[in-house]
């Protein structure tokens, strides 16, 4: 008999469970990953993320507010971590910490789940439990989405901002900012965010 900790789930099974669940989950490679609820560790043979730190929450709020102000009147809008992103190439369902959509949000449905398919900017706030995956596995999946132009990583443990931008030839360039007096330029949406504002009220 197959162990329930080793079974692979279909997208339809995930969608039905996620719609009925009190908590959020991500779906990657046939596995269901609890999002931010450590008490669910072990249910699906995955390592649950711990609840976000104070710094993580402050930075997430800062970047969402800054983007909302910077994008006003530009035809783009910011969404928080409740907006589910679908990665068609890999059949993956993810919840970024924040994202930007320009123009009309394109929504695909699986059962009763709304799935966003056209983010332009994706933001993840790095923590001990997520930093490696955000830089590698998540980035690999996000960059397969044709609409994504900027991938912004903000470290909650130290003053460090990493911006990956897609060039016109499809290559990705990395810009690192380690200076509180620096600024992050998001070319895809014409927005500039100062590092000091991103880390406002954060004790590092």
Sequence-separated (6 or more) residues with CB below 8 Å from residue 187: 149, 150, 165
Domains of the chain and CATH, by start: 1-50 (no CATH), 54-198 (3.90.1570.10)
Give the per-residue pLDDT at 52.
72
What's the CA gap between 57 and 149, in Å, rounded? 24
Backbone angles phi, psi at 69, to 5 degrees: -70, -40
Q: ∠46-49-51 over CA atoms, to 5°?
A: 150
Digit-by-digit pLDDT tens for the chain (204 residues) are: 444 456 899 999 999 999 999 889 999 999 998 874 333 333 333 334 445 789 999 999 999 999 999 999 999 999 999 999 999 999 999 999 999 999 999 999 999 999 999 999 999 999 988 899 899 999 999 999 999 999 999 999 999 999 999 999 999 999 999 999 999 999 899 999 999 999 999 998
């Amino acid at each position: 008999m197959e162990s329930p900790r080793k079974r692979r789930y279909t997208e339809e099974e995930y969608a039905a469970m996620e719609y009925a669940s009190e908590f959020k989950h991500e779906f990657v490679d046939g596995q269901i990953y609890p999002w931010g609820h450590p008490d669910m560790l072990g249910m699906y043979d995955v390592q649950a993320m711990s609840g976000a730190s104070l710094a993580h929450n402050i930075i997430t709020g800062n970047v969402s507010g800054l983007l909302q102000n910077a994008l006003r009147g530009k035809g783009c809008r910011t969404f928080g971590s409740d907006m589910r992103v679908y990665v068609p190439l890999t059949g993956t369902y993810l919840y970024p910490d924040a994202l930007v959509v320009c123009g009309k949000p394109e929504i695909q449905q699986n059962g009763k789940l709304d799935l966003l398919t056209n983010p332009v900017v994706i933001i993840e706030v790095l923590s001990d439990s997520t930093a490696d995956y955000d830089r590698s596995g998540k980035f690999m999946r996000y960059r397969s989405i044709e609409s994504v132009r900027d991938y912004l990583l903000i470290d909650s443990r130290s003053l460090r901002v990493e911006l990956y931008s897609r060039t016109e030839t499809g290559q990705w360039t990395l810009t690192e900012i380690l200076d509180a007096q620096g600024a992050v330029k998001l070319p895809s949406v014409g927005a500039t965010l100062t590092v000091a504002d991103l880390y406002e009220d954060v004790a590092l």
